[in-house]
Amino acid sequence: MTRIAYVDGYFQPHAGACVHIEDRGFQFGDAIYEVWSIRGGKLLDEDGHFSRLERSLGELQIANPKTQIAYKLIIRELMRRNRITDGLVYLQISRGVAPRDHTFPKGYLRPTIVMTAKSVNAGKIQSKALEGVAVICVPDQRWGRCDIKTVNLLPNVLAKQAASEAGAYEAWQIDQDGYVTEGSSSNAWIITPEGVLVTRHADHAILRGITRGKILECAQALGYAFEERRFSLEEAKNAREAFMTSASSFATPIVKIDEQTVANGAPGSMVIALREAYLEQD
């Protein structure tokens, strides 16, 4: 089966799909992106990801080139052509192609749209999650607007690479005051010894994860107390449970932070309940 991508109006073989060398996404990172998880042929948190897409475009003053209905049709077609039941869909939108100049080009510029999709092994992801994963900590080296989902991911790439080299699954980024901001591609959570769920408040230092929002709703439904506030690495290392959330990992238990096991080193019951509640949502 040939893998198919969508680029600027055309479905085409993924292997040969490309964008122009003067695309501003390539030249300047002048682009945003969004990611949806697909489970059982269904997009998870579809509307939440579309709302964030609109917001990211708005923050960069890029006019949305398509309606939500059009994106949804393309996503459905990509899923069909790539025969995806469980997987991920990526959408990147750049400001477009123009002669290289930092300032926005004058007049109308047609944004570049790239969409790709891939299958994932849902069973493997589930068993990995139920074992729990390790994280390492790295300094947060990012810019001041991490709330915008831009394609400028170099600090995240370096953080994830450091995690991989250390045999860990994710890197938690630590701000200058010793507080955890978030993972390289996920939000960070702990459960205090008193059983209170804590995740950083959604300021400009983190991406307001769509999964994060849904997990807060699940916490409320389960009757868990929660606080949106910053927490220190010290507090995380003494937590009862720790976990990460993202569209691709849902809620995944963290059992080790640097060299320290979290509690007894096994996934905690609250995160497992939250993961189940998340996956049972409509």
Is 149 one of the catalytic residues? yes
Distance of closest approach, residue 35 Cβ to ligand PLP, in angstroms: 6
Burial class (CB in 10 A: 0-12, 13-18, 19+), 274: buried
Closer residue to ligand PLP in complex, CB, 18/221: 221
186 contacts ligand PLP (rule: CB under 6 A): yes
170 closest CA partner among 186, 147, 153, 190: 186
Distance of closest approach, residue 233 Cβ to ligand PLP, in angstroms: 17
- Name the active-site residue from 72, 128, 149, 237: 149
Closer residue to ligand PLP in complex, CB, 30/182: 182
CA distance 121 to 109: 39
Distance of closest approach, residue 105 Cβ to ligand PLP, in angstroms: 28
* Site track 137-176 with ligand PLP (rule: CB under 6 A), x = hit: -------------------x--------------------
246 contacts ligand PLP (rule: CB under 6 A): yes
Name residues contacting ligand PLP, limited to 202-241 (CB under 6 A): 207, 209-212
Beta partners for residue 117, in sequence order? 89
89 contacts ligand PLP (rule: CB under 6 A): no
The tokens describing 274, both together, are 């939250």
Collapsing DSSP states into helix, strand and coil, what is residue 5?
strand
91 contacts ligand PLP (rule: CB under 6 A): no
The tokens describing 164, both together, are 């991989």
Distance of closest approach, residue 207 Cβ to ligand PLP, in angstroms: 4
Question: What amino acid is encoded at 61 in this protein?
Answer: Q
CA distance 275 to 247: 12
Distance of closest approach, residue 256 Cβ to ligand PLP, in angstroms: 20
Closer residue to ligand PLP in complex, CB, 94/150: 150
Long-range contact list for 119-122, CB < 8 A, 24+ apart? 119/82, 119/83, 119/84, 119/85, 119/86, 119/87, 120/86, 120/87, 120/88, 120/248, 121/86, 122/39, 122/86
155: which DSSP letter?
H
User: Which residue do the tokens 């969409």 mark?
Assistant: 115
Question: What amino acid is encoded at 52 in this protein?
Answer: R
Distance of closest approach, residue 202 Cβ to ligand PLP, in angstroms: 10
Among 205, 247, 255, 262, binds ligand PLP (CB under 6 A): 247
56 contacts ligand PLP (rule: CB under 6 A): no
The tokens describing 45, both together, are 């948190």
Select the span of 24-32, 70-78, 178-186, 263-271 touching ligand PLP (CB under 6 A).
Answer: 178-186
Q: What is the largest CA-CA distance in the chain?
A: 60
Closer residue to ligand PLP in complex, CB, 78/207: 207
Residues near ligand PLP (CB under 6 A) are: 35, 156, 182, 185-187, 207, 209-212, 245-247
Catalytic residues: 149
